[in-house]
Amino acid sequence: MKLDGKIALVTGGASGIGKATVMELARSGALVICADVNAEKGAELVAEAAATNFAVEFLPVDLADQGSTRRCAAEALRRHARVDILVNAAGWNDIQPFVENAPDYMDRVIAINLGGTLHLTHALLPAMIAAGKGKIVNVSSDAGRVGSSGETTYAAAKGGVIAFTKSLAREVARYSINVNCVCPGPTDTPMLQSRPDKLKEAFIKAIPFRRFAKPQEIADAILFFAGPRSDYVTGQVLSVSGGLTFAG
């Protein structure tokens, strides 16, 4: 798949699914902006990409902060005038019963997983509309599709991302802008590795393929929605979970 001449922005791009997506888009020829709260890891990714002659830039963003999110969008447009491909891949949560969620924790989970996606998309969308084209790929979660014990606030936020995807797709189809959503199941990322071993073992037993997804496997699904092979696909939600939720 060729994405030569395309400008892409990936949130959460310094690690996990986001990093795999940055590298895959760059490998396909796009200039990719990695937007992440971790500047150190972002710099490491830029250096890694440069070693393979991939075009990757870094922009700092704290998706929990509306001002930071808007500044990130403004700087991306200042540098390149447009973003052709937006991948809202960042996500964050903890595992705990809903009744134990502190109000500040709930606010942060919703801000990062839903609010950041809304604000960044809102800021970048006018340039896509003016161009009469664009690809937006939102990374939700199967928790948002079918629910997940211990992740209720996260599931609520990610469910909102799914609804946002479908509604926005209807609004912007007239401008030839595609909006689609990828829902990963448990994936071998730093966030998953921080979970207790007992929880990870339970996940493995529940997944028909008996293994976690690799970040690259999620990136492959994102690349499909970001590239020309999905030009007639919009408003869709694709689960990539090894069969964990196919009955959901």
Q: What is the pLDDT of residue 201?
A: 73
Quick check: is 199 in a domain? yes
Quick check: is 62 in a domain? yes
Q: What is the pLDDT of residue 248?
A: 44
How many structural domains is the chain composed of? Answer: 1
Separation between Cα atoms, residue 202 and residue 107, nearest integer Å: 28
The answer to whether the CB of 51 falls within 8 A of the CB of 27 is no
**Strands, DSSP E only, in the chain?**
7-11, 31-36, 56-60, 85-88, 134-139, 177-184, 237-240
Quick check: is 2 in a domain? no
Q: For the chain (length 248 residues), average pLDDT per consecutive 10?
A: 94 95 98 98 97 97 97 98 97 93 97 98 98 97 85 96 98 98 82 66 72 87 97 96 67
Rg (CA), the chain: 17
Name the active-site residue from 105, 154, 175, 232.
Answer: 154
Active site residue 105: no
| CATH, residue 218 | 3.40.50.720
Q: Which domain holds residue 28?
A: 7-232
Quick check: is 239 in a domain? no
Quick check: is 151 in a domain? yes
Quick check: is 167 in a domain? yes
Quick check: is 102 in a domain? yes
Question: Model pTM?
Answer: 0.93
Helices (H), the chain: 16-27, 39-51, 66-80, 103-110, 116-131, 142-146, 152-172, 190-193, 197-206, 215-226
Separation between Cα atoms, residue 76 and residue 212, nearest integer Å: 34
Separation between Cα atoms, residue 112 and residue 12, nearest integer Å: 10
Quick check: is 82 in a domain? yes
